[in-house]
């Protein structure tokens, strides 16, 4: 397999609003990020993916962009950006920017023009339709509740918004839109950035004729069925020809609704489209009839089956991205493991081992390297996320859930769990801000924080450092073939990697129970490469795994 820097890299995601506040207004910003670059260098990550910092009215925390070539005032200036970028490059790291081009903000100049009249030159930049029977053009629902259509009085027509009504969808079938997007990408690449994470790029090509979807029983609205639409590959190949192929850069497509088969096209190793995609299957296993609003937990067997399918199916054909958390997901520790005080350190290390030893490019979401947990939001007043706020209103008004139930689900699955301020130290507001933070700080910051962990060799942080360093030393961790063992075990996740006759065994105990496991013959007497308990250097025969123990053993 061809060796490339983005396959060997570890990516760290920064959610700028919550990372570090440089000026005391309670909101994270670019100067704050710049002040923490040494921390990221210490961790050893190669690439920073920055969630959107462009000008935005913040209906969806920057995923609603009103000017792609300007910086959000709350985050600083273009000068602050340039300083941050050169600070990143000076330290030998790279910067990947979020590219949000399925939609813009309704306050973007294109949309302001588009809504003015039916014959405005920008009209076809967006997706406008007449209503049917006094209602919206079709039955598509928005990912953020309600209809995906908004009536606009000036021209008496509806516009499509798959997300909030302040996020109108761009019309990618219009070549002018594609040209505008490509030249904007070029502008940033010429500035020196190193790649793009492409927001819901799988949704850009809408179904011709925008047909009604099939609403699940009892539901009013249907999924738009726009994932992997008819022209998505053609548009990405065009983007690749005109922009991506001209730079040494990294691309990752966020692909809601992507299947293994589709991913082989998006992230094909022949380089015609993107380098890799974020798939959603493993973060949907705990969904229920009302989507994420449930207290269902992920079944380990299902998780193993899903991740293994992605590992083996893409192998040699496309490239995986590896993630357990991001700014849209609850904290990985609380969700896939436990944040119980007695186990959380071991468990955070176990999850990291499980993920970082797989084939693909691993992503660390800010605070994951500290074992940050979900947040005990008391009431809806503590919640900021538009998705949670809308769902709370809609589902409690419909009587689907009580307010208490909804709050419980938000505490388990809401996106704000990942958006509470980064926990830097045990001083006021976790050292995130001198002012009043825009969202509550998780009260466990006095115990879980960076300052306490950086110098502690047994901390979650130090363990991540070790995993990241190992990946740089050992090609087998990056390129080795994956094979699942013990597929039917309820609480152990065991797999091997192999490359050029070398073999690596990874054992993860996903439970608090001590669990016996017999080391396979070919690994008997094998050297423990890394583990989260002080285990002897060589293992053989039957071993008793400790709660949430993880081990990687060389054959």
Least distance from ligand TEU to the Cβ atom of residue 302, Å: 19
Query: Tokens at residue 438, please?
Result: 């825009």
CA–CA separation, 187 vs 86, rounded Å? Answer: 17
Active-site residue among 64, 254, 328, 368?
254
Q: From 25-33, 111-119, 152-160, 285-293, give the range in contact with Ca ion by CB under 5 A.
A: 25-33
Nearer to Ca ion, 29 or 369 (CB): 29
Which of 8, 25, 212, 425 is close enough to bind Ca ion by CB under 5 A? 25
Closest-by-Cβ residue to ligand TEU is 63
**CA geometry: angle at 465 spanning 460 and 471, to 5°?**
125
> Any contact of residue 80 with Ca ion (CB under 5 A)?
no
The listed partner (ligand TEU, Ca ion, none) that binds 200, CB under 5 to 8 Å by sort, is ligand TEU
CA–CA separation, 194 vs 20, rounded Å? Answer: 22
199 is catalytic: yes
Nearest to 114 by CA among 170, 181, 56, 175: 170
The listed partner (Ca ion, ligand TEU, none) that binds 6, CB under 5 to 8 Å by sort, is none
Nearer to Ca ion, 276 or 441 (CB): 441
Nearer to Ca ion, 25 or 287 (CB): 25
Nearer to ligand TEU, 201 or 346 (CB): 201
**CA geometry: angle at 505 spanning 501 and 475, to 5°?**
50
The residues, ordered by sequence, that sit 6+ positions from 93 with a Cβ below 8 Å of its Cβ are 37, 40, 41, 45, 46, 47, 48
For 41, 66, 91, 310, 388, the CA distances from 52, given in Å and listed in that order, are: 22, 12, 22, 28, 20
> Any contact of residue 83 with Ca ion (CB under 5 A)?
no
Only one residue has tokens 């820097």, namely 5
Least distance from ligand TEU to the Cβ atom of residue 63, Å: 3
Least distance from Ca ion to the Cβ atom of residue 277, Å: 33
Nearest to 442 by CA among 367, 506, 545, 549: 367
Nearer to ligand TEU, 384 or 546 (CB): 384
The listed partner (ligand TEU, Ca ion, none) that binds 328, CB under 5 to 8 Å by sort, is ligand TEU
Q: From 17-25, 100-108, 490-498, 516-524, give the range in contact with Ca ion by CB under 5 A.
A: 17-25
The listed partner (ligand TEU, Ca ion, none) that binds 25, CB under 5 to 8 Å by sort, is Ca ion
The listed partner (Ca ion, ligand TEU, none) that binds 75, CB under 5 to 8 Å by sort, is none
> Any contact of residue 27 with Ca ion (CB under 5 A)?
yes
Which of 4, 8, 23, 462 is close enough to bind Ca ion by CB under 5 A? 23
In the complex, the residues that contact ligand TEU under the rule CB under 6 A are 60, 63, 100, 143, 163, 199-200, 254, 256, 327-328, 387, 415
The listed partner (Ca ion, ligand TEU, none) that binds 256, CB under 5 to 8 Å by sort, is ligand TEU
Residue 518 in contact with residue 544, Cβ under 8 Å? Answer: no
CA–CA separation, 419 vs 51, rounded Å? Answer: 12
CA–CA separation, 6 vs 251, rounded Å? Answer: 9
Nearer to Ca ion, 23 or 305 (CB): 23
CA–CA separation, 20 vs 37, rounded Å? Answer: 11
Only one residue has tokens 């920055």, namely 50
Query: Tokens at residue 110, please?
Result: 């294109």
Least distance from ligand TEU to the Cβ atom of residue 254, Å: 6
Residues in the chain: 555
- Residue 309: Cβ-neighbour burial (10 angstroms; 0-12, 13-18, 19+): middle
Least distance from ligand TEU to the Cβ atom of residue 170, Å: 12
Nearer to ligand TEU, 327 or 497 (CB): 327
Query: Tokens at residue 356, please?
Result: 């970082």
Cα Rg of the chain, angstroms: 23
Contact footprint for Ca ion (CB under 5 A): 21, 23, 25, 27, 29
Cite the active site residues.
Answer: 199, 254
């Amino acid at each position: 397999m061809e060796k490339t820097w983005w396959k060997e890299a570890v990516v760290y995601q920064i959610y700028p609003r919550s990372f570090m506040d440089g000026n005391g207004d309670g909101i994270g910003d670019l100067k704050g990020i710049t002040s923490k670059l040494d921390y990221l260098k210490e961790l050893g990550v190669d690439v920073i993916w920055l969630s959107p910092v462009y000008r935005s009215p913040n209906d969806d925390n920057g995923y609603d962009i009103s000017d792609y070539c300007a910086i959000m005032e709350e985050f600083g200036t273009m000068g602050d950006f340039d300083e941050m970028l050169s600070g990143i490059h000076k330290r030998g790291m790279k910067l990947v920017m979020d590219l949000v081009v399925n939609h813009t903000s309704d306050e973007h100049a294109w949309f302001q023009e588009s809504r003015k009249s039916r014959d405005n030159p920008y009209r076809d930049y967006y997706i406008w339709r007449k209503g049917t029977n006094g209602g919206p053009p079709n039955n598509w629902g928005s990912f953020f509740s309600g209809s995906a259509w908004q009536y606009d009085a000036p021209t008496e027509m509806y516009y499509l918004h798959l997300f909030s009504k302040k996020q109108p969808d761009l019309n990618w079938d219009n070549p002018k839109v594609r040209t505008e997007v490509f030249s904007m990408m070029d502008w940033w690449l010429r500035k020196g950035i190193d790649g793009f994470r492409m927001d819901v790029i799988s949704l850009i090509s809408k179904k011709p004729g925008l047909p009604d979807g099939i609403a699940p029983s009892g539901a009013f609205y249907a999924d738009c069925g726009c994932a992997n639409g008819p022209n998505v590959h053609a548009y990405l190949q065009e983007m690749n020809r005109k922009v991506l192929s001209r730079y040494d850069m990294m691309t990752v497509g966020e692909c809601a609704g992507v299947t293994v088969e589709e991913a082989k096209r998006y992230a094909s190793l022949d380089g015609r489209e993107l380098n890799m995609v974020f798939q959603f299957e493993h973060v949907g296993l705990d969904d229920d009839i009302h989507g994420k609003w449930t207290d269902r937990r992920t079944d380990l067997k299902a998780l193993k089956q899903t991740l293994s399918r992605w590992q083996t199916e893409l192998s040699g054909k496309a490239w995986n991205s590896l993630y357990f958390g991001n700014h849209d997901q609850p904290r990985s520790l609380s969700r896939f493991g436990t944040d119980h005080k007695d186990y959380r350190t071991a468990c955070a290390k176990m999850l990291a081992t499980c993920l970082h030893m797989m084939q693909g490019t691993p992503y660390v979401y800010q605070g994951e390297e500290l074992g940050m947990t979900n947040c005990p939001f008391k009431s809806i007043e503590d919640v900021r996320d538009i998705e949670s706020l809308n769902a709370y209103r809609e589902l409690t008004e419909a009587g689907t859930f009580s307010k208490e139930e909804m709050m419980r689900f938000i505490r388990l699955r809401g996106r704000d769990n990942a958006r509470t301020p980064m926990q830097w130290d045990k001083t006021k507001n976790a050292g995130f801000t001198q002012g009043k933070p825009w969202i509550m700080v998780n009260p466990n910051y006095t115990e879980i924080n960076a300052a306490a962990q950086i110098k502690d060799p047994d901390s979650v942080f130090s363990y991540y450092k070790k995993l990241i360093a190992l990946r740089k030393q050992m090609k087998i961790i990056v390129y080795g073939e994956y094979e699942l063992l013990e597929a039917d075990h309820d609480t152990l996740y065991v797999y091997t990697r192999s490359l050029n006759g070398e073999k690596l065994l990874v054992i993860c105990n996903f439970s608090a129970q001590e669990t016996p496991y017999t080391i396979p013959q070919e690994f008997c007497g094998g050297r423990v490469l890394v583990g989260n308990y002080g285990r002897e250097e060589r293992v053989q025969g039957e071993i008793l795994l400790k709660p949430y123990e993880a081990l990687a053993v060389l054959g």
